[in-house]
Amino acid sequence: MKNAEKIEIDRRYCKGCMLCKYICPCDVFEPGQTRSDLDYLMPQPIRIENCRVCGLCESNCPDMVLTVFAKEKRKENQ
Provide the binding-site residues for ligand SF4, judged by CB under 6 A. Answer: 4, 9, 14-20, 23-24, 26, 28, 43, 51-57, 61, 63, 65-66, 68
CB nearer ligand SF4, residue 22 or residue 75: 22
Q: What stretches of 1-78 adopt beta strand conformation (E)? A: 4-9, 30-35, 41-44, 66-70
| Pair 55, 68: CB distance under 8 Å | yes
Name which of 26 and 34 has its Cβ closer to ligand SF4.
Answer: 26
The partner residues of 66 in beta bridges, in order of sequence, read 9
At closest approach, how far in Å is the CB of 75 from ligand SF4? 24
